[in-house]
Amino acid sequence: MHLVYNRKKFFGFTTPMLFFYIVFMFLPIGVAVYYSLTNYRGAGGYDFVGMANYSRLVGDKLFWLSLGNTLKITITTLVILIPLSFLLAWVLKEEKRGNNIFKTIFFTSYCVGGIIVGLVWTFILDPSKGLVNNFLRSVGMEALALDWIGGRTLTPYMVGIITTWSGLGFCILLWTNGIKQIPGEVLEASIVDGANKWQQVRMVTLPLLKETFKMIFVMQFTGALKVFESVYSLTGGGPNHLSETMVSYMYNTTFGSRLFSYGMAISVAEFVLAITVSLLFMYFTRKEVTD
């Protein structure tokens, strides 16, 4: 019997993937770090300025505003999306025709591009012409017709809800796949031991889905940090930068204000935030398992 695996085949399959990963992932990160240490403006020469761009970040009110908005979007997304997607996956876990139809409906939103998502939800949430406020005014509830987007407060939370809607189907798919991997004997044993449905979910299913939870958390956390298209379609970061996220602020700084090196510093700061939180989360959850 011949072994399928050998060193030549391994490197033959992995080298192209590794090449593209380095070119499109690690190389751009290195370029961003490099230019963030200069005063480059997108054209012409430049000088090295060390940590000057990062020092500027510390005193930049718009940076901290965009960071706050990004964290609000991220927390809103995680708090709603993870439990809701698990609940729906648990309800739809049986292989039934009706369940498959609902799974398809939920997954459809994941296939819609970010710009289209923003345009659709602008039509729904626009304070002056949106469906929600027009409906509230038509039924005499004008006091509830709020500035869902473009105001001073609600925009980040609405973007978090939109992000939840967009990613719901994909998370349901991941939870469903995890649930299917649980041995039926384990669930049957819990029933024999007298566990009710809630106890079965809390004490058997969720602990066995810890790896699935970790994967969903990291993917949705990093995804929420990178929200751009929907924000750009909804508000463009306005009014007066009140709804800026880190990505939209980086985009406007780099391509609008032509502060190329400062925009790279913003992108590096976001990258460091994403890596730090993800690694801390993985460390503490791994430590919890080993303990």
What's the predicted TM-score (pTM) here? 0.85
Contact, 120 vs 191, CB < 8 A?
no
Local confidence band at 78 (pLDDT 50, 70, 90 cut-offs) = very high
Q: Is the peptide bond before 239 cis (omega within 30 degrees of 0)?
A: yes
**Which residues are CB-neighbours of 250 under 8 A, at least 6 positions away?**
263, 266, 267, 270
DSSP string, 99-162: HHHHHHHHHHGGGS-HHHHHHHHHHHH-TTT-HHHHHHHHTT-GGG----SSSSSSHHHHHHHH
Report the residue count for the chain.
291
Q: What are the boundaries of each domain within the chain?
A: 56-290
Partner residues linked to 38 by β-bridges: 48
Tokens found for residue 107: 């997954």
- Only one residue has tokens 């995804």, namely 223
| Residue 255 DSSP class | I
Cα distance between residue 224 and residue 48, in whole Å: 32
Residue 167's SS3 state is helix
CA distances from 162 to 64, 76, 125 (A): 23, 10, 11
Residue 48's SS3 state is strand
pLDDT tens, residue by residue, 164-200? 999 999 999 999 999 888 888 887 787 777 777 788 8
- Reply yes or no on whether the pLDDT at 3 is more than 60: no
CA distances from 6 to 2, 9, 47, 233, 253 (A): 10, 6, 49, 50, 49
CA atoms within 13 A on the CB side of 267: 23
- Reply yes or no on whether the pLDDT at 2 is more than 60: no
Tell me the average pLDDT of the chain.
Answer: 86
- Only one residue has tokens 């949430």, namely 125
Write down the pLDDT at residue 266. Answer: 94
Cα distance between residue 59 and residue 55, in whole Å: 7
**CATH code matching the domain that covers 56-290, chosen among 3.30.70.890, 2.60.34.10, 1.10.3720.10, 1.10.645.10:** 1.10.3720.10
Radius of gyration of the chain (CA): 23
Choose between 9 and 49: higher pLDDT: 49
- Reply yes or no on whether the pLDDT at 1 is more than 50: no
- Only one residue has tokens 């970790």, namely 214
Write down the pLDDT at residue 240. Answer: 76
- Reply yes or no on whether the pLDDT at 288 is more than 70: no
